[in-house]
Amino acid sequence: MTGRKHAASRRPWTEALWGYAFIAPTGLGLAIFYLWPVLQTAYFSFTEWGAFGGHTWTGLENYTRLIADPEVGRAVLNTLTYTVLGLLGIPLAIVFAALLNRPKLGGVTLYRTAFFLPVVTMPVAVAMLWRWLYNGDYGLINQVLALAGIDGPNWIADPATALYALIVVGVWSSVGYNLIIFLAGMQAIPKELYEAASMDGAGRVRQFFRITLPMLSPTAFFISIVSVIGSLQLFDLVFVMTGSGQAARANPAYSRLQTVVQLFYERAFVTNDRGYAAAIVMALLVLIAVLTVLQFRLQRRWVHYV
């Protein structure tokens, strides 16, 4: 009897060890490739790097410089503008998902594929395509406008249109992913709710606002979190469409297109100011964390969990 109790007492420890063994590869990978780089970058943000390597401790000097740097302020403002306006892709995706969710609609698979193509296309290819479309001399958009007698601007080189042109590309690229997620959420809503609403005399529009949108709020919350985090890390579209270094700074709309991650790239790999670049990216990490916490706080007011 005592032996059985002893074996039973050892079983939870054995199961726990097996559990830790299974998660060890993933945990080790996260520690090496995610946690350690973050800690290392945090340390480097308090240092100054020489032209040939090596670094010296400078304390809060990089952060003091960051707060007073107007270029950082412009980059943060551009990034936040892109992030906020990029959220317009969420209601757009909901509308498209609702249209594709109509019963007996033919060609749904074809529509899904067409909407999802930008998602599976490499960001560099997307940027090169839109760079050609936006070209002021031979771009397709201006060619079409010329047929109507309209002289289109150089969309990426005009400070009045550059950032908004970039936002259009971002929304276009994200609608497909958001649409698929929303469509899956709509198909998971119980049909009985719509049947009961129909019996009470509710039309399709009222059902959409009273049933579909509230039931989709957890999905919308998830997409908003992912969209904000992704938008705050915007780099590839700007880099390919505008270039970097002196080529990018020659663009008249450079100050309207510079994002936080692009500024980090230039400081780290163009001017070799790696300590300051580390401070910039750590400030971005804090900004992402603050906005994510804020979103979780605000979701209590509009997200409805069943």
CATH code at position 281: 1.10.3720.10
User: Tens of pLDDT along 229-239?
Assistant: 999 999 989 88
User: Tens of pLDDT along 7-63?
Assistant: 555 567 788 888 888 899 999 999 999 999 999 999 999 999 877 777 889 989 999
Q: Which candidate, 162, 159, 156, 172, places its Cα nearest to that of 88?
A: 172
State how many domains the chain has.
2
Q: Which candidate, 109, 102, 92, places its Cα nearest to that of 179?
A: 92
Q: State how far the Cα of 297 lies from the Cα of 295, in Å rounded to an integer.
A: 5
User: Tens of pLDDT along 51-89?
Assistant: 777 788 998 999 999 999 999 999 999 999 999 999 999
- 269 within 8 A of 245, measured Cβ to Cβ: no
User: Tens of pLDDT along 244-285?
Assistant: 667 777 888 888 989 999 999 999 988 889 999 999 999 999
Residues 259 and 127 in one domain: yes
Q: In this predicted structure, what is the pLDDT of residue 251? A: 83
Q: In this predicted structure, what is the pLDDT of residue 11? A: 64
Residues 21 and 81 in one domain: no
Residues 295 and 172 in one domain: yes
- Residue 10 has what DSSP assignment? H
Residues 41 and 67 in one domain: no
In a domain, 79, yes or no: yes
In a domain, 306, yes or no: no
In a domain, 9, yes or no: no
Q: Which candidate, 6, 41, 3, places its Cα nearest to that of 277?
A: 41
Which range of residues forms the domain containing residue 177? 63-300
Radius of gyration of the chain (CA): 25
Specify the residue for token string 């049933």: 211
* Distances 210 to 106, 214, 304 between C-alpha atoms, Å: 26, 7, 12
Specify the DSSP element, H or E, that contains 55. strand 55-57
Q: In this predicted structure, what is the pLDDT of residue 204? A: 86
Residues 171 and 243 in one domain: yes
Mean per-residue pLDDT over the chain, rounded:
88
Specify the DSSP element, H or E, that contains 49. strand 47-49
Q: Which long-range contacts (CB under 8 A, 24 or more apart) does 270-274 make?
A: 270/244, 270/245, 272/49, 272/51, 273/49, 274/44, 274/49, 274/55
Burial letters 250-270, b for 16+ CB under 10 A, else e: ebebbbbbbbbbbbbbbbbee
Residues 131 and 27 in one domain: no
Region 93-105: mean pLDDT is: 86
Q: What are the respective helix, strand and coil percentages of the chain, to the nearest 5? A: 75, 0, 20
The dihedral through the CA atoms of 102, 108, 113, 114 has a sign that is: negative
In a domain, 53, yes or no: no
Q: State how far the Cα of 71 lies from the Cα of 79, in Å rounded to an integer.
A: 12
Specify the residue for token string 């002289």: 151
Number of continuous H segments (helices) and E segments (strands) in the chain = 17, 2
φ/ψ of 252, rounded to 5, equals -60, -25
User: Tens of pLDDT along 116-167?
Assistant: 888 888 888 999 999 999 988 888 999 999 998 888 888 998 999 999 999 9
Q: Is 0.85 topped by the overall pTM?
A: yes
Structure tokens at 24: 């060890």
In a domain, 1, yes or no: no
Residues 30 and 123 in one domain: no
In a domain, 4, yes or no: no
Residues 34 and 73 in one domain: no
